[in-house]
Amino acid sequence: MSAEFQTIFERLRKILEPYARTLAVTQDTPGRYCLAGGVHPTRKTAMPVAWVEIGKNYVSFHHMGVYGFPKLRDGLSAELQARMQGKSCFNFKTADEKLFSELEQVAARGFAAFKQAGFLAGQTPATVGSKSKSRCSMK
């Protein structure tokens, strides 16, 4: 794993860390960090909400709020949109603090949208359980 990817991973992880107070950290390794919470509508288990992971060719930041609430994508800069793969994933090969700051704002709006919709109401790590079966992906 490259030093650049580790630096990117650590910065993207910092975006998610403040939300660990109300969600469960289901994975916390040098290459993967996942937050889960709420209840998946069909599986009836805690669902992965956001995660960051180091892959072979890039570091990925996933936020299911961007998938579940498409209006969050409105107003994304062209630069951040260029990093988007699918409906909830942003890939980075190089560090870009401007894009990380923008992604931090998008993530905050995503967590707020989940909470407002009732998906994360009353969440605490204890109610989700730190040993959630969440795999940190929706595949």
Question: What is the pLDDT, as a whole number, of residue 121?
Answer: 55
Q: What is the pLDDT of residue 118?
A: 80
State the pTM of this model: 0.86
Cβ contacts of 109-112, under 8 Å, gap ≥ 24:
109/65, 109/72, 110/50, 110/63, 110/64, 110/65, 110/66, 110/69, 110/72, 111/19, 111/49, 111/50, 111/65
| Predicted local confidence at residue 127, as pLDDT | 44
> What domains are defined for the chain?
3-118 (3.90.1150)
pLDDT one digit per residue (tens) for the chain, 139 residues: 799 999 999 999 999 999 999 899 999 999 999 999 877 777 777 789 999 999 999 999 999 999 999 999 999 999 999 999 999 999 999 999 999 999 999 999 999 998 888 877 555 444 444 444 445 654 4
